Amino acid sequence: MLSVSDAEAIILNLVQPLAHQRDTEIVDLFTADSRILATAVTSPLDFPHWDNSAMDGYAVRYEDVQHSSTEKPTVLEIVEDIPAGYQPKSTIQPGQAARIFTGAVIPTGADTVVMQEKTRRQENRVFILDTPKPQGFVRYKASFYQAGTQLLPAGIKLNASEIAVLAAAQCPQLSVYRRPRVAIFSTGDELMTIDQPLQPGQIVDSNQYALAALVRQSGAEPLILGIVKDDPVALEKAIAHAIAIADIVLSSGGVSVGDYDYVDKILESLKAKIHIQAVEMRPGKPLTVATFPNTDAINRASPHSALYFGLPGNPAAVLVTFWRFVLPAIKKLSGIAEGWETVFLKVRSHDELRSDGKRETYLWGKLHLIDGVYEFHKAGGSHSSGNLINLAQTNALAVLPVGKTLISPQEDVQVLQLNKD
């Protein structure tokens, strides 16, 4: 059976990232956070825009003050007052200084700033009480960034610091990748909506809520398509509709070996290419992954051939397969230049972790920081794939590879950190 890492590689190979020519939109800078920049940005401005002062003090000529001390201060005539935002008019001659403030333009002729704590003022004269560093406290024009060079590359996720840089470079709007569209629906006659009284044998469809939250947290746009009965005709209609409007489709349930598990059969009747039908993992074994090469049969919202994930119905399996396979796929699709692969941390296990060793086993729990070292604490209660309850308040999945049946307390364990973006 397919290993987890092989399955991840197959899935990532199936993902074509959004194209910056057509899958982009213009957003205002105030609403750009966490979007992915679609085109590189350069600025016509130098940073700093001009030589400016880093301190409140006096702009002087270094050669005038290079032998200054408290015992033998240099005395200079103050010829101009230069607050920030003011354009100096004077040229500083030998024996002269200008009063200057942080961020203000360094006047012609001056090459050093003395901070005011190292001076004493007497009317229009200033006593320099200490020899400053040559060119001290001057922020030189273009010393942070040269106009016309690349300011930010395409394919990065915009966080606060990138947005601040774009604001400083006067980019009120920018081109970002559109959000990937991820269609979600649940299958199963036993499923009931959240607001209906449950009849015997019925359960609430919780998977759609889980997936909608996970999709939104990943920066993609969830298209919530509801519950589909275990009925081949209804299912075919739902799948055909979903792959026509979305880049990625997530169904849950109906992918195992039961008589009412129709998903794989319907995919075949829609001429899908099924790349994965089972993975050597627990939970999440009966995962189905498919694409639709001959998409001309379906009018497509976007030229992308939708990537279809038939997630297993068990609630824990839905979450684990999303975190392990769907999240990297959405990240790669989103246009981000790098960092879509799943990243594992090596941490210490607080508890004994067991597996039957037959499948790569994922156990949910919580990472605690103990004396600066991460420790994995396994969630109490059953780790059955059908148990959703003890998944609440977890933030990590510990992984026991195939063949590993026991990890003892204090032993190292690989974990997948969750909900960290």
Ligand X SMILES: Nc1nc2c(c(=O)[nH]1)N[C@H]1C(S)=C(S)[C@@H](COP(=O)(O)OP(=O)(O)OC[C@H]3O[C@@H](n4cnc5c(N)ncnc54)[C@H](O)[C@@H]3O)O[C@H]1N2
Q: Does 254 bind ligand X (CB under 6 A)?
A: yes
Q: Which partner, Mg ion, ligand MOO, ligand X, none, binds residue 219 by CB below 5 to 8 Å per kind? A: none
Write out the binding residues for ligand MOO, residues 367-386 only, by CB under 6 A.
Answer: 385
**What Rg, from alpha-carbon coordinates, does the chain have?**
31
Beta pairing partners, 42? 150
Report DSSP letters for 196-225, one per residue: SPPPTT-EE--HHHHHHHHHHHTT-EEEEE
Nearest residue to ligand MOO, scored by beta-carbon proximity: 283
Q: Does 349 bind ligand MOO (CB under 6 A)?
A: no
Q: Which partner, ligand MOO, ligand X, Mg ion, none, binds residue 88 by CB below 5 to 8 Å per kind? A: none
Q: Does 17 bind ligand X (CB under 6 A)?
A: no
Write out the binding residues for ligand X, residues 68-127 only, by CB under 6 A.
Answer: none
Of 24-32, 41-49, 310-318, 350-358: span binding ligand X (CB under 6 A): 310-318
The CA distance from 286 to 279, in Å, is 6
- Which of 50, 332, 324 lies closest to 180, judged by CA? 332
Question: b/e for 372-388, b at 16 or more Cβ within 10 A?
Answer: eeebbbbbeeebebebb
**Does residue 272 contact residue 241 with C-beta atoms inside 8 Å?**
no
Binding ligand MOO (rule: CB under 6 A), the pick from 17, 222, 283, 335 is 283
The CA distance from 391 to 210, in Å, is 11
Q: Does 321 bind ligand X (CB under 6 A)?
A: no
Closest distance to ligand X from the beta carbon of 203 (Å): 5
Q: Which partner, Mg ion, ligand X, ligand MOO, none, binds residue 315 by CB below 5 to 8 Å per kind? A: ligand X
Binding ligand X (rule: CB under 6 A), the pick from 146, 206, 395, 414 is 206
Q: Does 258 bind ligand X (CB under 6 A)?
A: yes
Count of alpha carbons within 13 angstroms of residue 99, beta-carbon side: 12
| Closer Cβ to ligand X, 131 or 277, answer by number | 277
**Does residue 312 contact residue 255 with C-beta atoms inside 8 Å?**
yes
- Which of 9, 13, 8, 15 lies closest to 324, judged by CA? 8
Binding ligand X (rule: CB under 6 A), the pick from 190, 231, 236, 280 is 190
The CA distance from 56 to 115, in Å, is 6
The CA distance from 278 to 156, in Å, is 34
| Closer Cβ to Mg ion, 253 or 365, answer by number | 253
Please give the residue ranges that form the binding site for Mg ion (CB under 5 A): 256, 258, 261
Please give the residue ranges that form the binding site for ligand X (CB under 6 A): 186, 188, 190-191, 203, 205-207, 252-258, 261, 283, 285-286, 312-315, 317, 385-386
Please give the residue ranges that form the binding site for ligand MOO (CB under 6 A): 282-285, 312, 314, 317, 385
